[in-house]
Every structure is written in C-alpha cells, then in structure tokens.
Amino acid sequence: MGLRLGACIFHLPTAVIYGSLSLFVSILHNVFLLYYVDTFVSVYKIDKLSFWIGETVFLIWNSLNDPLFGWLSDRVFLSTQQPGAEISSPEVVLKRLKALSHNGPLFAISFLAFWVAWAHPGLQFLLCLCMYDSFLTMVDLHHNALLADLAVSAKDRTSLNFYCSLFSAIGSLSVFMSYAVWNKEDFFSFRIFCVLLALCSIVGFTLSTQLLRQRFESGGKAKWDQESTLKELYIENLSVPPEKRITLAEYLQQLSRHRNFLWFVGMNLIQYESWGMVDTETPSSYSCSCLCSGVSYIAPHLNNLYFLSLCRRYGVYAVVRGLFFLKLALSVVMLLAGPDQVYLLCIFIASNRVFTEGTCKLLNLVVTDLVDEDLVLNRRKQAASALLFGMVALVTKPGQTFAPLIGTWLLCAYTGYDIFQRNPLSSVVSAQPKLESPAFLKPTLRQGCFYLLVFVPITCALLQLLSWSQFSLHGKRLQMVKAQRQNLTQGQAPEVKTI
C-alpha cells in the first residue's frame, strides 16, 4: 500500500506538484493575516508606539525586498552573450527549486516565531514581521518565477495557475479550522495548531521540491550529455567579444523603455490601491460583515478557477478587460440603488473584493508574458523571471501600503469623521440609527462610506480600462513574442562542423 501510494505521488503531473506549493504557503499565511495583530495587541500587550514603529519598518522593508531578492537571484541571467557559460532552462528551474527547498521550511519556522513570547513585544514584533516577510518574499518570487520558467505556452501556464488557485482555496480552510482553537485567554491549543500547520508546510515543501528536482535533474542530465557531445564540434567565434554584465542602472533603463511593462505597472498600481481602499472603507458594523469577511478568504480562489477556464478560451487580456467592465457596471448599479439597500450593499462589497483579488491573481499570467517580451526585446540568455516579478512588486506594493491612508483621508475630507480622534460609532452605518446619537452625523458618515465604496471602484475601473487599452501584448503580438522566446531558448545549439 505504501509503495503504491509512493508511486502515485511520484507520477503526479508537474502542474499538480507545482500548484501544491501554494497550499503550503496559504495554510500559514491566511492564519498569519488573521491573528498576528490580535496576538501582539491583546495577548502580548504591545504598546502603541512600538506597534507603529514595527509596522512602518515592515512596510518599507516589504516594498524593497522584492526587487532586492529578485536582483540577487537573477542578475546572472541579464547578460546576453557569454560564450562557454550557457545556462540551460533545467539549470534555472533547479536553481529556483533549490531556493524553495531552503526558504520554504524557513518560512514555516518564521511563522512559528509569532506565537511564542521570546523577547520584548516591540522588538519581537519588528523582528518577526521582517523575518517572516523576507522568507515569504523569497518563496513567492521563486514560485511565481517558475510559472514563467516551467512553461511558455498560455495553455500550460493557465494549467499551472489553475492548480495554484485550487490548492490555495484548500489552504484557506485553515482559517476556518483556526476558529475552533483561537482563545486569547488560553493560547496553548492555538500554538499546537500552528505547530501542526508548520510541520505540514515543512514536509510539503521538502517533498514537493524534491519530486520536481528529481524530474528536472534526470531530464537535465540527458540534455547535458547530448550538449557535451555537440560541444566537441563547437566552433567558437572569436570575433564576437563576450558582453559585459549588465548593471542595475542599465537594467532599469531597459525597463523604462519597455512600454507594456510601464502600462501594466500603472494599471496594477491602481488595482492594489482599489483593493486596499475598499478594505479601509468597508464598515465593520454591517450585519453581514462577518459573512463578507469569511467569503473573501476562499471565494477569490474558487472564482479564479472559473476565470482561468475563460482565459483558456478567450485569453487573459480579454478576461481582465471584462472584469474591469464588470466592476464598473456593478458599481454604477450600486450607486443607482442607493445606501439603503443593505443586503445588496453586502453582496456588492463581497463581490467587489472577490473580483478585485481574483484579478490580482490573474495578473501573474500577464507578468509571465512580460517576462517573455523582456527576454526577446533584450535578447537575454535566460528570462529574469524573479527579478521582473520583484520590479512589479516594487511599484505596486506601495500602492497597497498607502491605500488605507488615502481612504481614511478621503473619508475625513468628505465627512469630517476622523477615526483617530472620535470614538467609533457602531451604529452610524445601520439602516435605523439610534435616537440618542447625533442625528446630523450619521447620515453624513453613512453616505460618505457609501459614496467612497462606489466611486472608488468606478474611478479605478475607468483608469484601468484606459491603461489596459494601451497594453499591446496580446493577440498576434503575444504569439510572435512566444514564438521568438521558444526560438531563443530552444534554438541555441552550438554550431556543428559541416561534414
């Protein structure tokens, strides 16, 4: 029985094993997002100054570490000509799998550091956040980079992304299981639960990366034997000097000339702004807010499975454009319905979050297409996948960081309500306000929240449609880029003596 199970695991499709890595990330990360603030505020009693210092340092580090780690990982791939030092595709994949096999277990260990008090709360908060985000960034960068390195065709990449969404949805169930053990007064059961999750993640990362490495080591060894025979007949062109290594400044200059990259990061920045601002402006006192919050954990992944089936049929560009039009239409309908339709408003909030987060997950496929175009435009030896994902994050993550600040400022400017200076009014957004509260404040605040909830998506959708209309990497151009990438990566055999 054990041998049969081992044989079944060994013969699993590569897409399934690749997607399973998302499971071992999501089972930890969703629990982290839900409980880390409550743990330090309610259990460890961190002071307000230490909390905001830790959050500020974390937000800065969170924006900078993606391009930093991407540069350290992929700078060797930026040169275009280095005779005698070719890097094959299996070698790149093995390099990323090795990084995942090391950083995956370390990510799980850093997750455990939150749930045991081992230092002053302020110091522990700062160190845990930065350490956790560092390993999470390394895992995300190399996992996303494999999406571009394992496959070139849109069909294969969509299949890889499909299994990522499927396993992420399964991993989201850890949030619902955590409700049974979460207790601020008795933390022991929750700690045991987190240890079990971390052990599952460590075993999963080790097993999955080992299976993938065995496949590519066997395939790479056969290719290496073939290439070593050809290299005996290789005629090195001495008249072509080896090209120097590209510096960071030169790489940034190349990106500044990459027109589709610039339009994409502009659109993606608005996407993350919209995501963060909707979360900020969603009133927590709506009667269905718990349902909306619970649905928003798992629904984007399940919804993404349907979106990916549409991507196979119509292409990613058309699906993303359709989602922008859908977001615009739903916002206009909600605006016409008005703020008194509470249940419709709850459905709108949940659907807006689901569509916004689902679109963010689809955009990884667009980044892989940009990786192909960057390879073709600059004629690189290998695609700098992790570096390009890191550069996209450098531009978009600050948008997610500043979105709550912008949302809070807009709410204060429109209504005069300052969340830092006035006690939260629990009933200001209810359908029937209490008589003892100031009546002139409540309609203003209710209307302010409502109009921001509908006008922010409307504005963002219009700006995104404008940016997306300028994005040309689709249709025939995308097919041409993919064909050229396949020629560059597969047609690099050395010249053979004519017999």
Q: How far apart are CA 326 and CA 355, in angstroms?
A: 9
DSSP states along 202-213: HHHHHHHHHHHH
Q: Report CA-CA distances (Å) from 105 to 25, 92, 108, 202, 489.
A: 10, 21, 5, 5, 32
What is the pLDDT at residue 318? 93
Please write the tens of the pLDDT for every residue from 22-34: 999 999 998 998 8
**pLDDT, averaged across the chain:** 79
Is 460 in contact with 274 (CB distance < 8 Å)?
yes
Q: Is the pLDDT of residue 262 over 90?
A: yes
Q: What is the maximum span of the chain, computed from C-alpha positions, in angstroms? A: 98
Q: Is 219 helix (H, G, I), strand (E, B) or coil?
A: helix
Strand ranges inside 210-316, DSSP E = none
What percentage of residues in the chain have a pLDDT greater than 70? 74
How many other C-beta atoms can be found within 10 angstroms of the C-beta atom of residue 36? Answer: 17
Q: Would you place residue 5 in the very low, low, confident or very high pLDDT band (cuts 50, 70, 90)? A: low
Lowest mean pLDDT: which of 356-370, 411-425, 463-477? 411-425
Q: Would you place residue 351 in the very low, low, confident or very high pLDDT band (cuts 50, 70, 90)? A: confident
Is 12 in contact with 163 (CB distance < 8 Å)?
no
| Joined tokens for residue 468 | 């997306």
What is the pLDDT at residue 233? 41
What percentage of residues in the chain have a pLDDT greater than 90? 35
Report the pLDDT averaged over residues 273-278.
Answer: 63
Q: Is the pLDDT of residue 353 over 80?
A: no
Give every CB contact of residue 486 below 8 A, 6+ residues apart in sequence.
152
What is the pLDDT at residue 87? 52
Kind and range of the H or E run holding 87:
none
Q: Is the pLDDT of residue 15 over 80?
A: yes
Selected residue with higher pLDDT from 348 and 116: 116
Q: Would you place residue 6 in the very low, low, confident or very high pLDDT band (cuts 50, 70, 90)? A: low
Q: Report CA-CA distances (Å) from 244 to 98, 130, 488.
A: 27, 35, 20
What is the pLDDT at residue 142? 94
Q: Is 234 helix (H, G, I), strand (E, B) or coil?
A: strand
What is the pLDDT at residue 243? 56
Q: Would you place residue 59 in the very low, low, confident or very high pLDDT band (cuts 50, 70, 90)? A: confident
Q: How far apart are CA 160 and CA 152, in angstroms?
A: 11
Q: Is the pLDDT of residue 168 over 70?
A: yes
Q: Is 496 helix (H, G, I), strand (E, B) or coil?
A: strand
What is the pLDDT at residue 429? 42
Q: Would you place residue 480 in the very low, low, confident or very high pLDDT band (cuts 50, 70, 90)? A: very high
Please write the tens of the pLDDT for every residue from 383-431: 889 999 999 988 887 766 666 666 666 666 666 665 545 454 444 444 4
Q: Is the pLDDT of residue 444 over 80?
A: no
Is 287 in contact with 342 (CB distance < 8 Å)?
yes
Report the pLDDT averaged over residues 133-162.
Answer: 92
Report the pLDDT averaged over residues 479-492.
Answer: 77
What is the pLDDT at residue 242? 54
What is the pLDDT at residue 485? 85
Q: How far apart are CA 334 and CA 347, in angstroms?
A: 10
Report the pLDDT averaged over residues 131-143.
Answer: 94
Q: How far apart are CA 180 and CA 193, in angstroms?
A: 10
Residue 282: what are its φ and ψ, rounded to 5°? Answer: -75, 115
Q: Report CA-CA distances (Å) from 263 to 37, 71, 398, 469, 474.
A: 35, 22, 17, 9, 13
Question: Which of 84-93, 431-440, 468-477 has maximum average pLDDT?
Answer: 468-477
What is the pLDDT at residue 414? 65
Amino acid letter for position 389: F
Please write the tens of the pLDDT for every residue from 191-248: 999 999 999 999 999 999 999 998 888 655 555 455 444 444 444 444 445 556 778 8
Q: How far apart are CA 146 and CA 99, in angstroms?
A: 11
What is the pLDDT at residue 115? 94
Selected residue with higher pLDDT from 479 and 291: 479
What is the pLDDT at residue 79? 63
Selected residue with higher pLDDT from 404 and 372: 372
What is the pLDDT at residue 360? 82
Cβ-defined contacts of 490-495 (< 8 Å, 24+): 492/86, 493/227, 493/230, 494/227, 494/230, 494/231, 494/233, 494/234, 494/235, 495/234, 495/235
